[in-house]
Amino acid sequence: MGLFQKYLKDRSIFKNREVLRHSYRPHILPHRKEQMDTIASILAPSIRNETPSNILIYGKTGTGKTASVRYVGAELEKACGSVGVECNVVHLNCEIIDTQYRVFAQIATLLEDGEGRSSDRPRSNIPMTGWPTDQVYTELKNLIEAIGGVHIVVLDEIDKLVKKSGDETLYNLSRINSELKKAKVCIVGISNDLLFTSYLDHRVLSSLSEEEIVFPPYNAPQLVDILQQRADYAFNEGVLDENVIPLCAALAAQEHGDARRALDLLRVSGELTERKNAEIVTEKHVREARNKIEADSLIECVKTLPTQSKAVLYAMLLFPEMDKQVFTSGEVVQVYRDVALALDLDVLTHRRITDLISELDMLGVIKARLVSRGRYGRTKEMWFGARTKKILETLQQEDRFTDERLNQIDISRFKTLFR
């Protein structure tokens, strides 16, 4: 008890810190009424037991896409229930459920065992592994037909599914309605990547993207409203300095208008204040929280990158050693080839390397911008914000990146080549 004695005193500045977590679902979503109304209008035919159009929803991380879809989905199920129409909204996170088999099996599981489902509901008994995929598809189709009604399948992080497993899952789901008589299926895809549709076959794209909705980033005043709404429930009265919420909102607005980022800043600021036994959260705590979050998230992100992405990143880290702070995608490709050969990796194509560079930019590991070179076309310029030393140290925690062959890469040759 002695170690935790000081924490037993009821001096917490938090009333309910869970309100500041990403998993919390607010009853009101500020500044997303227009987008929710649009989603509701597209899904409204479900109330008449008709097939709604498929929807693709785009937007950067933390712009309220998932929360909005969950809210509309819950309201739709209530509305359909009030008029006696069978309607089920199932949510899948494709960052975790990223193969065709697992998608079909998980949809079946959610339809059978979801909240409020009847115990005598039809069942498919699809195992999580072991069956041929076409058999799983047939069982899922038969289950949906036996249940009847309208089924909204929400594929969150849909781009992760497509990049990992191709577009066959989406092709099969988009054509399932032609094989159903008593039931209807609608697909709602949610993605942070505006370019992921370039991976899709034109037949899949035409049927999947019947309606497209873009969620814009939040601006600073909108983030202030969101944070104030959560802070009223999360903190005890009088513990926030008046400048804390505007500062959290301003910092998050500078970085793509990410509400999750703003909420993390506010929560971590409160936690740091509490650990120091201070009574008021101040701007100083917010700035400390920003440094802590950036360090933690960047390192975790680098650790979990695929090997080829790490190789591309390692190639970029050689440019500061050449006294070259800004470099282009073409230059990175040339250095990457030497890195890949030194590590005994398959050398990727120029296009695949530029895709990996775009992902590193989206993750915030590097900064990048497109620049025009006139008649020579456009290229991507990149640079590191800070913490290159920390990124390199993180890469070198993996034995592969302490290989002596990497030290034999001739940096002076590239220095002359890129002059």
Binding-site residues for ATP, in ranges, read 63-67, 218, 230
User: What is the distance between the alpha carbons of residues 277 and 286, in angstroms, rounded to a whole number?
Assistant: 16
d(CA 363, CA 56): 22
What's at 396, amino acid-wise?
A: Q
Cα dihedral 329, 330, 333, 334, rounded to 10, equals -140
| Contact indicator for 385, 297 with CB cutoff of 8 Å | no
Q: Identify the H or E element spanning 123.
A: none
Binding residues: 63-67, 218, 230
The answer to whether the CB of 272 falls within 8 A of the CB of 288 is yes
What is the identity of the amino acid at 161? L
Q: Which residues pair with 93 in a beta bridge?
A: 156
Q: What would the DSSP string read from start to end of 285-316?
A: HHHHHHHHHHHHHHHHHHHTS-HHHHHHHHHH
CA–CA separation, 344 and 304 (whole Å): 20
Nearest of 270, 282, 280 to residue 246 by alpha carbon: 282
